[in-house]
Structure 1
Amino acid sequence: MGLTFASLIMTQQPAIFVGLMMRSYSFVTDVGLPDIWVMDPKVQFVDDIKPLQDTKLFRVRGVSGVDWAMPMYKGMIKARLADGTFQTCNVIGLDDATLIGGPPVMLEGRLEDLRRADSVIVDIDGARDKLARPSKDPAGKPVPLKVGDTLELNDRRAVVVGIAKTTRTFQSQPVVYTTYSRATLYAPRERKLLSFVLVKARPGQEVHALTRRIRETTGLAAYTQAEFEELTVNYFLKNTGIPINFGMSVTLGFIVGAAIAGQTFYNFTLENIRQFGVLKAMGAGNGTLLGMILLQATLVGMVGYGLGVGLTSLFGWSMRNTILAFKFPWQLLVFSGLGVTLICVFSALLSIRKVIKLEPAIVFKG
């Protein structure tokens, strides 16, 4: 039970942590198509928007090796719902001509429908939850937003023309897609509104070389998709308490598991110390007794590790349709396996020390 608890904590908590970190850059992953993201040099992570002048787009397009460069708006805008309440939404403005950067999966409607007047596309999680219309029955469930419904974004009419499937973001705000020109009308008036420039490298062009060229030519920050994701993760690791909180949980799980397993295994040895003494008196060497203890520790470790990992997998499967962030890569299996191995070694060493110092004469003592 001690090893099962330790294995469970050392896989479940890191899996939630990994899920949270992946959500921090999920927007970048969903866009996918561009090779390079260009932005203000002071941007620290994907939601740290520092707008650019629209003329920067043409400077990027003029860099040698760029196949195409498209504008993107990203900002937080309040939506007024049917019952008069407000909900902050993550509004994404796509290039009017190409619609590059749109949602990865369309569940209802078409991406091309964004070219219709006042049209927007809403993600399915936001449509079902935070943007849902209140039920006519006070005790009833909210009615999910559907195609044809309307919203108000910054006092402007928005008609839902599609429902999309997107990866949940770190803040889990509803995601609303529209065209770039329409997004600039929804957004509060500012002198600069261009959030990102999405760049595709020409065929045969080395992406990292093009990234350096854009930085040198324009003075802007340019990152590949992987670099932008890493920048975002590093910001959350350095500037939030998330790693410390989850790290403490994993550490406590390891300590408690080691204490329980070590004490239980040692007590088992003490209870059977006479049997070990009999074996020694019959001629069994320290190597044989050592092998017995290690075999016991190995079997207990495998069972405890398997139960802990199995419970973690069951937990992740049961939470798959909830807001909880959970990602279980194979590296966590190795991490928890090493942790359980260390606990088993610690527990076995306590017993091994007792058995090696054991005198066979204990059998004849009262």
Structure 2
Amino acid sequence: MRSIAIKMLFGDTAKFYGILLGLSFATLLIAQQASIFVGLMSRTYALIEETPQADLWVTDPTMQFVDDTKPMQVTALQRVRSVDGVSWAVPLFKGLLVAKLPSGSRQICDVVGVDDASLIGVPARMIKGDVSVLRKPDTIIIETRGARSRLAQPINPADPSGPKRPIEIGEELELNERRAVIGGIA
């Protein structure tokens, strides 16, 4: 029985290579889709993973998905703080804002707003600067990838499409038409 199956498989070379190619392509697609799924899922919980201080997260009851940007009302935050066994609760906001760069271009940016008293939710590792700069008015911390790509500035202001340099500490930009000074890079 086994010998008949092997003869049928190897007997027609074109059919054999067609089956082999089909199986290889199907395996590639399965692996690719699995990696896309894992990547999307890891991005979904990245903010929670990078904020280890919180044991429990409370959101607005009308929030439908992770990137749904609905800030929690102050009264709801006070209700959470009043629950027995809750030692602390602080607000954390995640949303999208339009950034106007010094070159005049605009970029949509992910923004994480943290509690200014406790600074819970700040980046765990800073590359340049210190998290305490967030206590200064109008100061922000940007991510390294953003500084090198989306927020990068042209070396020659007369040629905005030319080579670019990473945006640096001390430079200003506008977030929703409000001044913001870069105080650190994470």
TM over 0.5: yes
Displacement, 1:97? 1.2
**Residue from 133, 146, 159 that aligns with 2:153:** 133
1:147 aligns with 2:158: no
Displacement, 1:18? 1.6
Partner of 2:91: 71
Partner of 1:329: none
Q: Supply the AA of the counterpart residue of 2:90.
A: M
Equivalences for residues 1-366 of structure 1 within 5 A: 1-2=20-21, 3-136=23-156, 138=159, 140-164=162-186
Give the Cα separation in 2 of the matches to 1:51 and 1:69.
14
* 1:79–1:135 distance in 2 versus 1, CA, 3 Å: same
Give the Cα separation in 2 of the matches to 1:31 and 1:141.
35
Give the Cα separation in 2 of the matches to 1:133 and 1:101.
28
Displacement, 1:122? 0.3
Q: Which has the larger radius of gyration?
A: 1
Displacement, 1:8? 2.7
Q: Supply the AA of the counterpart residue of 1:9.
A: L
1:226-254 CA distances to partner (integer Å, 9 max, x unpaired)?
A: xxxxxxxxxxxxxxxxxxxxxxxxxxxxx
What's the % identity of the aligned pairs?
49
For structure 1, the residue ranges without an aligned partner over 5 or more in a row are: 165-366
Q: CA RMSD in A?
A: 1.9
- The structure showing larger relative contact order (alpha-carbon pairs under 8 Å, at least 6 residues apart) is 1
Q: Secondary structure at the match of 1:160?
A: strand
Displacement, 1:73? 2.2
Q: Supply the AA of the counterpart residue of 2:64.
A: Q
Displacement, 1:81? 0.7
1:303-353 CA distances to partner (integer Å, 9 max, x unpaired)?
A: xxxxxxxxxxxxxxxxxxxxxxxxxxxxxxxxxxxxxxxxxxxxxxxxxxx
Give the Cα separation in 1 of the matches to 2:179 and 2:71.
24
Give the Cα separation in 2 of the matches to 1:75 and 1:4.
42
Q: Supply the AA of the counterpart residue of 2:50.
A: D
Larger relative helix fraction: 1
TM-score of the aligned structures, taking structure 1 as reference length: 0.42
TM-score of the aligned structures, taking structure 2 as reference length: 0.79
* 1:9–1:73 distance in 2 versus 1, CA, 3 Å: closer
Give the Cα separation in 1 of the matches to 2:124 and 2:106.
27
